Amino acid sequence: MFFKKVEENIELRGSKKDDAEPLLRSLPTHRTFDYVLVADKVDNEQKTLRQEAFIAQLKKKNIHITRITHDNKDFFGIRAPSEMFEVYQYLLKVSDSCNCCGDEKGAVTQATRIRIVHFILHHTYINTGENLEELLMKDVFETMFCLHERKQQKELRKKWARWTALFSRQPVNDIKSYFGEKVALYYLWLAWYTKLLVPAALLGVIVFLYGLAFFNTNPLIKEVCESNITMCPRCEKRCGTWQLSDSCTYAKVTHLFDNEGTVAFAMFMAIWATLFLELWKRHRAKHVSKWKVYDWCEEEEELIMELVNDPNCKAKQFRHSYLRSTLVLILVTLMLMLIIGLAHALVVFRVVAAPLMSESKWQFLKDNANLVSVFLGAVLHYITIQIMTRVNRWVSLKLCDIEKLNSLAATERSFTVKMFTFQFFTLFSSLFYVAFFLGRINGHPGNYVRLAGHRLEECHPSGCLTDLFIQMAVIMLLKQTLNNIVEFTVPWCKRLVNEKAAKKLERKCGHCYRKACREENGCIEPCDICKHREWLRNYHLASSDAFSLFNEFLEMVIQFSFTTIFVAAFPLAPLLALVNNIFEIRLDAIKMVRLEQRLVPKKTNDIGVWTKLLEAIGVLAVIANGLVIGITSDFIPRLVYRYHYGPCAKGKLDYTDCMEGYINDTLSTAYMNSSNFDAFINPWERHNFSVTECSYRDYRNENDYSLKSQFWMVLAVRFAFIILFEHVLVMCKFIAAWFVPDNPTQVKNERLQDKLTRLKHELREKKLSKSTDV
């Protein structure tokens, strides 16, 4: 008790310059501030009263406040009393799920202090019922942040947060100690994902090289390049007929990604996604067991911190309202309809842009109108993604407010699912159209389907896969490259501009010779100028919040979706993801350690609902790749032609020439009025007019435009392949998940031994306390 009283006296005297300095030097007490609040000095009496009321509420909880004024700003240094953390440790010890994490005894780490104080600050209310979040929104306080620890920050910069450590192993234990388990698990997952991308990237490159090896010798490419077939106009009024041989380059590019190798690669990636997740669960189990948080429960820790903040608090009851759930479901449906509507708007843009560019004065645009419209559509899609990301976040937050969940962890899970769903539809709606609808709903000559007065787009005679590849490549490259540039340069420029103010204070502190100002362990309190210099240094860093880590996870899970879902159309996606992630790890590390304010350390034992979302993506990848191979690519039509309609099926030629005539077989004939190419003549009336023959991609009879039996044969084989492909791969995924257990045997044995040791320790203490009583 005497020691506590002395400590309280020191707290009271700490504001009187150096009166308490001898005692401060002699007592090994905690002198690092847990949080800093910043407020503008204003003449508004209401804001001033609210500031004072909030500070008064903190003081009632025995929280020590140090106030320093600089440039019309008030800085409030916040330090929680040691008794608060003793209560936290005791409650951890008697809890059900958090009692063996190691934090229930020994010194309280700065990361734990920050987490508890952060919770208390957000759950402190003034007499008007407003909390800190509302006060920040009303500009009563400008901002809040926790401080970087200079010594640990230097260590992380040396080991991890530098470009020269690009290929070094990550110090996950140091990251866990400084940023908490949640951030450490993100980097652990990202490193594991990057490591397992290596075999996927290598195989993708092999598939690409396989297509490249037959770039000039493939018989299908030769048939296109040496063809004299006249094709029907791509649009009306402005477009004329064109030669199939003009699209020789397009056919070559298509073959790079639409060959037999992509089928095997798609199957590999579906199984790879399952193995990645199962092996990640084992990898995670090893580390969370080592960190003693295997059984950790975030909801239970939240309840403990509620008690630390207010011993008389009441538990938030679980609630469920069918009315609120129905309202949320309706609003989510409306939001998804809006996102799909935007995808349709992009389709309209492409439909209108192609014919407009075909009459351009520039020859390049005129000759490549369709290709340029695809590129412009992809760029416009990227811009739409950037705008909708902000809209999606706002809507997701509002929907979570409507739900009124009982814990922060449950709210975070709900927000994550909603935000990911909206982002997924925003990114992939246009891709699904290109993959499964482009060129399949546009009708035929004389009966074209129209949108905004224009014909719908058609696929190239070589197939639709190249359109999907272009769309994916543009979005993936733009999203990864531009996002990384913006993520790094914005905080870097902010630090560059604002660090001048901190340097002025450094010069002021040049006359301070107290050892406390150079002490980095947080045991001795520095002078006010040095204290404020440190606060200002952190204040001028880019702000970080609960969304900082969420944004990184969302970016990587979306990238995982691109890497797996349409990998059959873009085998180089894993390679692009691998290269991006190698730099992403260091970029995020430099940003968190050097350019941003310190993230609030959070304790957890898993990456949360992201695991479920990754599993859902793995299942969707099987379905999507089966549909891409079966419907989008020409793999099935080529297969049917080879074994049923081609020369080899009739026993005419060697096996090497089995695909001869395939391109011509996929084309049908139409008849145009020679004086007006926009007027198609019915086949049975062609003898009454001067007509010009042209070809278009479809399986139709030239006599009445009816579908050939070959169309139905190909369609039947497509569906049979999709069903077989998906059932086989789903079975393989289940076998892989069963074969690779989530928890290694070593982890199970270590946990068993830890429990036995803890129980033995409790038993010895019980016996010792009985013998002492006797």
pLDDT in tens, 505-524: 555 544 555 555 555 555 56
* Tokens describing residue 602: 């959070």
Task: Provide the pLDDT for residue 298.
Answer: 82
Three-state DSSP at 695 gives strand
Cβ distance 144 to 35 under 8 Å?
yes
Bigger pLDDT: 32 or 139?
139
Dihedral in degrees, nearest 10, Cα atoms 547, 551, 552, 553: 100
Amino acid at site 101: C
Least confident of 279-288, 414-423, 637-646: 637-646
Cβ distance 598 to 538 under 8 Å?
yes
| 206 Cβ contact partners less than 8 Å away, ≥ 6 residues apart | 261
Cβ distance 366 to 408 under 8 Å?
no
Residue 116 lies in a domain: yes
CA-atom Rg of the chain in angstroms: 33
Mean pLDDT value across residues 565-572: 86
Mean pLDDT value across residues 629-648: 86
What one-character DSSP code corresponds to residue 668? E
The 10s digit of each residue's pLDDT in 482-501 is 777 877 787 777 777 766 65
Cβ distance 416 to 550 under 8 Å?
yes
* Tokens describing residue 99: 């009692």
Give the range of the structural domain holding residue 59, as residue numbers without chain letter. Answer: 35-146
How far apart CA 335 and CA 395 sit, in angstroms, is 8
Helix, strand, coil % over all residues of the chain, rounded to 5:
65, 10, 25
Answer yes or no: is pLDDT of 258 > 60: yes
Three-state DSSP at 564 gives helix
Q: In this prediction, what percent of the chain has a pLDDT beyond 90?
A: 24
CA 379 to chain centre: 20
Distance between the two ends of the chain, CA-based, in angstroms? 27
* Tokens describing residue 333: 């449906």
Residue 253 lies in a domain: no
| 142 Cβ contact partners less than 8 Å away, ≥ 6 residues apart | 38, 39, 40, 73, 136
Closest CA to 76 of 42, 40, 122: 40
How far apart CA 639 and CA 102 sit, in angstroms, is 62
Residue 539 lies in a domain: no
Least confident of 26-35, 620-629, 665-674: 26-35
Mean pLDDT value across residues 420-425: 93
- How high is the mean pLDDT of the chain? 82
How far apart CA 23 and CA 16 sit, in angstroms, is 13
Last residue of a domain, one of 405, 422, 457: 405
Task: Provide the pLDDT for residue 11.
Answer: 38
- DSSP labels for 643-708? IIISTGGGT-S-GGGTTTTHHHHTEEEEEEETTEEEEEEPGGGGGGS-EEEEEEES-B-TTT-PBP
Mean pLDDT value across residues 517-535: 68
How far apart CA 247 and CA 249 sit, in angstroms, is 6
Task: Provide the pLDDT for residue 189.
Answer: 95
The 10s digit of each residue's pLDDT in 67-120 is 888 778 889 999 999 888 888 888 888 877 766 666 666 688 889 999 999 999
Last residue of a domain, one of 109, 126, 146: 146
Highest mean pLDDT among 2-6, 29-33, 123-127, 218-222: 123-127
Cβ distance 671 to 233 under 8 Å?
no
How far apart CA 237 and CA 678 sit, in angstroms, is 6
How many domains does the chain divide into? Answer: 3
How far apart CA 702 and CA 708 sit, in angstroms, is 10
Cβ distance 358 to 454 under 8 Å?
no
Q: What are phi and psi of 733, to 5 degrees?
A: -65, -45
Residue 534 lies in a domain: no
Residue 435 lies in a domain: no
Least confident of 176-185, 205-214, 477-486: 477-486
Cβ distance 482 to 445 under 8 Å?
no
Bigger pLDDT: 69 or 675?
69
How far apart CA 254 and CA 677 sit, in angstroms, is 29
Least confident of 329-343, 522-536, 672-686: 522-536
Distances (CA, A) of 397 to 394, 404, 415, 568: 5, 11, 7, 35
Cβ distance 92 to 101 under 8 Å?
yes
Bigger pLDDT: 35 or 439?
35
- DSSP labels for 278-339? HHHHHHHHHHHHHTT-TT--HHHHHHHHHHHH-TT--PPPP---HHHHHHHHHHHHHHHHHH
Distances (CA, A) of 679 to 236, 449, 692, 720, 744: 9, 15, 11, 39, 70
Residue 434 lies in a domain: no
What one-character DSSP code corresponds to residue 595? I
The 10s digit of each residue's pLDDT in 757-770 is 878 877 887 778 77
Amino acid at site 443: G
How confident is residue 724, by pLDDT bands cut at 50, 70 and 90?
very high
How confident is residue 416, by pLDDT bands cut at 50, 70 and 90?
very high
Bridge partners of 676, per DSSP, are 673
How far apart CA 114 and CA 147 sit, in angstroms, is 9
Residue 152 lies in a domain: no
Task: Provide the pLDDT for residue 647.
Answer: 82
Least confident of 50-54, 181-185, 453-457: 453-457
Least confident of 370-379, 445-454, 511-520, 765-774: 511-520
* Tokens describing residue 400: 């979570």
Bigger pLDDT: 103 or 750?
750
Distances (CA, A) of 427 to 423, 424, 479: 6, 5, 10
How far apart CA 320 and CA 34 sit, in angstroms, is 37
Last residue of a domain, one of 128, 146, 164: 146
CA 323 to chain centre: 31
- DSSP labels for 383-439? HHHHHHHHHHHHHHHHHHHHH--SSHHHHHHHHHHHHHHHHHHHHHHHHHHHHHTTT
Residue 11 lies in a domain: no
Closest CA to 2 of 708, 281, 10: 10
